[in-house]
Amino acid sequence: MDTTVVAIAGDGDDSFRRPLLAHTEEIHPYEEPPSSQRAPLDAAAAQPEQQRKSLRVASLDVFRGFTVAMMILVDDAGGAWPGINHAPWFGVTMADFVMPAFLFIIGVSAAVVFKKMPNKTAATKKAMVRAIKLFILGVILQGGYIHGRHKLMYGVDLDQIRWLGVLQRIAIGYFLAAISEIWLVNNNSVDSPVSFVKKYFMEWIMAMMITVLYVALVFGLYVPNWEFKVKISNPTLSTPISLVEMKTIHCGVRGSLGPPCNAVGLVDRVLLGENHLYKNPVYKRTKECSINSPDYGPPPPNAPDWCLAPFDPEGLLSTLMAAVTCFVGLHFGHVLIHCKNHSQRMLFWLLASTVLTIFAFLLLLLGMPFSKPLYTVSYMLLTAGVSGFLLLLLYYIVDVIHIKKPFILFQWMGMNALIVYVLAACELFPTLIQGFYWRSPENNLVDITESLLQAIFHSKRWGTLAFVLLEIVFWCLVAGFLHMKGVYLKL
């Protein structure tokens, strides 16, 4: 989650007739350029290309900060606004573009971080240590130890701990992308499109191999009948007790992409175990499982048993496919590094994003639906393409025509994305604040503020949305304060 910057070379008119690999000078992402390098942006734009000074790519920070803000929005307001919440199984909503965007920008940053490696062994150790730290942090935050808002308790039964989650997925995707960047990229210089392809050819092969493995397992694995445990209570007894009932799901198929009989769930049940999967999967919001679909709700009459089964949306097989999004980000980062001017970068990003999006819809027409829980290839291509379009747009606005002030809050948040994600998106900070209450746990600052906004707007939905937007602004300002003090949290 290291926020790294790369110098922007001037925007000339020549294309591949000149060497793509420009000599650039890096500036630390959290420091202002030396006075000799600071100049009004308009004046810098008017200078000849060889005289322009290095500037940070602010759009990368804006992209990262915007992604974290969207994470907070869809997680905290999605319950009140099901339309922005994750799609119950097939299809995509605004929320389904957030996680891939984060993986995408991690890939872009990794390309910049590892472009110069005097010692590959040391770089590998650095990437491994960072990935392990992220994974452990994810287990602590999302493994069940912290129970979230409205539950003033902590602790987890190790027999029920959830091993995978968002940060764990980021750790795995980052590690695979970093190792590929360290060991699969040759030292050849890039001075033409052919040399560019030769330099990164093995990384593309790696991404395609992961994709082929995913497709082979998803459509080739035989999914037999399987059982899971359900805890039920017996209210007829004087002292209600919880009983365990076994449910059987009948499958016996290959290639199913539905909730009960897909290979993604099979791999997780076999390798991780039923107890360590997410207990409140998104398919509980499907029409088969909820009368309030696409929101959570009571099950309809004769709801299938699989509605009660666990399923991890960040499981092993889907995470393997999600790592390919990081590889797409690597490609966009390579374009950022080797293309010498704005026009080249934007042209190649536009072409790549368009190709990804077109192939996504072609796969949809061929029968592979968009599905975030399964992280289907079509979903990966669509979300990566949209992420590419977003980066292109932000790059043009922020770094080409230099409209930065409207995005300063997102830029601040992007500079401290990890700490904001941990404290806000993982609800660590509001959970701690709720621990201080007046006489009753409901009388805490967080709940009182949200209830007050709901009363002001005379609507629970609009009040919740206002509360979440206020929360996002608050964390942007906190990130800005940390930036001004030179404080940046990274692993």
pLDDT at position 147 is: 61
Residue 427 is predicted with a pLDDT of 73
Average pLDDT of the residues of the chain:
83
Q: Count other C-beta atoms under 10 Å from residue 156's C-beta.
A: 15
CB 364 within 8 A of CB 307: no
* Helical packing angle, 377-394 and 58-77, nearest 10°: 130
Question: 177-224: per-residue pLDDT in tens?
Answer: 999 999 998 888 888 888 888 889 999 999 999 999 999 999 999 999
What is the spatial distance between Cα 364 and Cα 357, in angstroms, rounded to a whole number?
11
Q: How many CB atoms lie within 10 A of CB 122?
A: 11
pLDDT recorded at residue 422: 82
Please tell me what DSSP assigns to residue 109. H
Return the H-helix or E-strand segment holding 135: helix 120-142
**Residue 489, C-beta contacts closer than 8 angstroms, at least 6 positions apart:** 416, 418, 419
Rounded-to-integer distance, Cα 360 and Cα 379, Å: 7
Comparing 24-33, 163-172, 182-191, 237-246, the range with the smallest average pLDDT is: 24-33
**Can you tell me the mean pLDDT for 268-297?**
88
Largest CA distance in the chain: 85
Confidence of residue 476 (pLDDT cuts 50, 70, 90): very high
**Crossing angle for the helix pair 377-394 and 193-220, nearest 10 degrees?**
140
Quote the DSSP letter at residue 20: S
Give the pLDDT band (50/70/90) at residue 238: low
Residue 420: in which H helix or E strand, if any? helix 417-420
Whole-Å CA distances, 372 to 77, 183, 384: 19, 30, 13
* Lowest mean pLDDT across 183-197, 357-371, 392-406: 183-197
**pLDDT value, residue 379:** 97
The Cα 185–Cα 196 span in angstroms is: 11
- Tell me: the pLDDT tens digits for 125-143? 999 999 999 999 888 888 7
Is residue 426 within 8 Å of residue 142, measured between CB atoms? yes
Note the pLDDT of residue 82: 76
pLDDT tens sequence across 89-114: 999 999 999 999 999 999 999 999 88
- Which pLDDT does position 428 carry in this prediction? 75
Tell me the range of 131-140, 236-245, 436-445 where mean pLDDT is highest: 131-140
Hey, how many other C-beta atoms are within 10 angstroms of the C-beta on 125?
11
Cβ pair 125, 119 in contact under 8 A: no
Cβ-count burial of 222 within 10 angstroms (0-12 exposed, 13-18 middle, 19+ buried)?
exposed
CB 313 within 8 A of CB 359: no
**Average of pLDDT values for 228-241?**
66
Read off the pLDDT of each residue in 389-408 and give the average, rounded to a whole number. 94
CA pair distance 217, 227, nearest whole angstrom: 21
Residue 225 has a pLDDT of: 93
Report the range of poorest mean pLDDT among 3-17, 116-130, 186-200: 3-17
Give the pLDDT confidence of 50-87 residue by residue, as tens digits.
333 345 789 999 999 999 999 999 888 887 887 788 88
199: helix, strand or coil: helix
Query: pLDDT at position 444, please?
Result: 77
